[in-house]
Every structure is written in C-alpha cells, then in structure tokens.
C-alpha cells in the first residue's frame, strides 16, 4: 500500500484532496512527466483522493510570450495531461484562468504575503536573472497566486518535483499566517515528492534542472519529440571522461541518466548499475534513449489525436472549471467573511 493510501486508511476520514498545476510555458518535458505527472496519475488511480489538476495559464503570463504560442501550449498541455492518463471522469481538469476565484484570492493573499519572503524565493531569483529586462510584479508575487491555487480547494497534498517544494512551503506559511489572524480558514497543504524522478537534470548541462523553457532543444526531452530525436539527444547527452555506468560524485551526467533509466523502468539504481556492468557509456545512452522513446511514443500519439479535437478539449476544460468553481467559491466566501468584505448573494 502506498504511503499516501496508508495515511488515508489510518485517518478514516473523507477523501483527501490532491491538487497540482503545470505551466504552459513550452512542451511538457521528461522532467515534468517523471517528477510530477506520473504521480498525479498514480494518486488519481488509487481512488483514495479527490484530485484537481490544471494548466497554470495565468502564471505563464509572468514571462514574455507570443499569444498564439501560449494558446497552443495551453491546449497541448491539456492534451498531454489526458494522454498521460489524467481522466476527466476521475479528476477535475481545468484551466486556471477559467476559474476567476484564483485571481481574486490571489489578490487577497498578496496582502498577507511579505516582501521579504517573496524576495527569498529561488524561482524568482532564477527567473529574474534570466529575464532581466522584464522583472515584473507578477513574477514577484507569483507564490501568492500559487498559494491561492492550492488553498482555494482546502488541499492536503501537492504532488510536485523537488524544485516546487519551496513554493508549497510558502503557501503553507501564508495559510498559517491567515489562520493565525482570523481563525482556521485554510487547510495546511503538504508537498508530495517521490524520490525517483524528483529532479531530472538537463542533458546538456547536468548541473541544471531540465526545464521546458530551456532554449537549447538538446537539453530537454519533450513529450512531442519523435523516437529519432529522443535517441539522438540521449546519444549526445553530456557525461564525463570515465566509462563505468555507476553513480558517483562529480558524475552528474551519468547519475542523471541512471536516475532516468531507473524511473522509467522501475528498476533500482543498483539494478541498473548491475545491468550495465562491463558496458560503456555508449551502450547505456542508447538503452536510455530506447526505453524513453518506448514510453513517450504512445503519449505523443495520443496528444496528436487530442490536438485534432480541440472541441473536446474545450468541453473537458469547461466542465472542469464549472466543477472547480463550486469548491473555490465556498472558500472565497469564507475568506470574504473573515477579512470583513461583504459576501455577494448568490442566486
């Protein structure tokens, strides 16, 4: 039994809530898939949770983009979630911008989030260094909007990769601060990060995280890459001057490939080392390319099918937004009352 279901078993309470979003800032990568999406699907299929999964399209506005590209990425992101196994019959699937309560609670939480704590966020520091000509207020207050995403649904677990831990922690801090002032209003969320796949590194610079917005296409594997592209990228992956397929200090490239191979095949890192004993980096890179290509192929084919049926994607996201909005409004009304705003009478 998984750690999460055991938790649920013990408490014998109503179903816990699992929520996570992903930005439509480029094609979804192997890092996103192994670090986040596979866990979203496992949690959904355990049947133990009420799940909400969404495209964080408002967050994507914090960096400059082409409007037509963004719209395509939003559809493609949605198609990818479905292709990876998120089932709209089991989970609430939507676009963040379609549930207006996110922006509204985001503003309110801005007023309970401190300048100092926002200044310490690693993602803000990284993204402002990368976009020095566009350090906008949205990029800075991003964590308050993300806190709103999470807190609106009284979320228990947020399945994310390692890089997002700090964001879930600040959401928890904001909730704690608000609850401290007004009494219990928000549930306190916890990040849910599995060991395997939590931090997949760039194939071109294995000291850096694989990011979908990386401008170097050889650094990332995306769910839309063809089999040939995947295999070529793995063949070119940066390793070191050694030859043994073994985890080790200073062997970031090989460590990353072992980690990827292990996450995709479900074998432990020791099993992977044993499998490639006596073989060189060349054989190992090819094997990595092949297992990843096998995993991505059916996903890519399904994405293409969904992308040819945008009406279906529109329909799924509209239904999801309507369902999400009911829960979101409940929390927003509660917040309005607590802070002294007047709750609008709903018909």
Give the angle subtended at the CA of 330 by the CAs of 92 and 48, to the nearest 5°.
40
The answer to whether 318 and 290 are in contact (CB under 8 A) is no
DSSP β-bridge partners for residue 192: 159
Restricting to residues 32-61, name those near ligand LTN by CB under 6 A: 56, 59
Tell me which of ligand ATP, ligand LTN, none is bound by residue 146, counting a contact when its beta carbon lies within the kind-specific cut-off of 5 to 8 angstroms: ligand LTN
Site string for ligand LTN, 166-185 (x = CB under 6 A): -x------------------
Among residues 93, 160, 204, 296, which is the contact residue for ligand ATP, using CB under 6 A? Answer: 160
Which DSSP state fits 57? T
Count of other CB atoms within 10 angstroms of residue 124: 18
Among residues 211, 255, 256, 331, which is the contact residue for ligand ATP, using CB under 6 A? Answer: 211
Whole-number Å distance between alpha carbons of 209 and 259? 13
Among residues 8, 27, 32, 97, which is the contact residue for ligand ATP, using CB under 6 A? Answer: 32
The answer to whether 208 and 202 are in contact (CB under 8 A) is yes
Whole-number Å distance between alpha carbons of 338 and 201? 44
Count of other CB atoms within 10 angstroms of residue 259: 21
CB of 154 to ligand ATP, least distance (A): 20
Among residues 17, 18, 21, 37, which is the contact residue for ligand LTN, using CB under 6 A? Answer: 21
40 Cβ contact partners less than 8 Å away, ≥ 6 residues apart: 18, 20, 51, 53, 81, 84, 86, 91, 159
Residues near ligand LTN (CB under 6 A), total: 14
Six-digit token string for 251: 């062997």
Active site residue 212: yes
Question: Which candidate in 16, 90, 127, 338 is catalytic?
Answer: 127
- Minimum CB distance to ligand ATP smaller for 88 or for 197: 197
Under rule CB under 6 A, residue 86 binds ligand LTN: no
- Give the residue numbers marked as catalytic: 127, 209, 212
Which residues in this chain contact ligand ATP in the complex, by CB under 6 A? Answer: 22-23, 25, 29, 31-32, 35-36, 160-161, 163-164, 197-200, 209-213
């Amino acid at each position: 039994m998984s750690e999460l279901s055991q938790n649920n078993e013990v408490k014998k309470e109503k179903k816990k809530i699992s929520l996570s979003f992903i930005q439509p800032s480029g094609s979804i990568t192997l890092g996103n898939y192994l670090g986040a999406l596979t866990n979203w699907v496992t949690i959904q299929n355990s049947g133990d949770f009420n799940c909400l999964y969404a495209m964080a399209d408002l967050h994507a506005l914090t960096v400059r983009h082409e409007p037509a590209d963004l719209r395509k990425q939003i559809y493609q992101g949605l198609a990818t979630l479905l292709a990876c196994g998120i089932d709209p019959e089991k989970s609430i699937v939507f676009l963040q911008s379609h549930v207006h309560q996110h922006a509204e609670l985001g503003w309110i939480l801005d007023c309970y989030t401190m300048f100092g704590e926002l200044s310490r966020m690693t993602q803000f520091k990284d993204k402002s260094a990368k976009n020095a000509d566009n350090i906008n207020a949205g990029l800075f207050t991003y964590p308050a909007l993300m806190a709103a995403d999470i807190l609106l649904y009284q979320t228990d677990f947020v399945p994310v990769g390692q890089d997002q831990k700090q964001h879930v922690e600040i959401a928890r801090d904001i909730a704690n601060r608000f609850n401290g002032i007004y009494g219990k209003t928000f549930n306190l969320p916890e990040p849910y990060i599995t060991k395997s796949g939590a931090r997949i590194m760039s194939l071109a610079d294995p000291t850096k995280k694989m990011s979908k917005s990386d401008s170097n296409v050889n650094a990332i594997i995306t769910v839309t890459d063809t089999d040939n592209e995947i295999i070529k990228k793995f063949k070119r992956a940066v390793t070191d001057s050694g030859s043994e397929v073994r985890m080790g200090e200073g062997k970031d490239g090989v460590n990353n490939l072992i980690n990827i191979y292990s996450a995709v095949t479900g074998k432990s890192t020791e099993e992977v080392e044993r499998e490639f004993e006596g073989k060189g980096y060349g054989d190992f890179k090819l094997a990595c390319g092949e297992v990843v290509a096998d995993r991505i192929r059916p996903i890519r084919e399904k994405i293409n099918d969904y992308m040819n049926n945008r009406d279906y994607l529109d329909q799924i996201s509209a239904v999801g937004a309507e369902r999400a909005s009911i829960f979101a409004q409940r929390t927003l009304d509660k917040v309005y009352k607590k802070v002294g705003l007047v709750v609008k009478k709903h018909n």
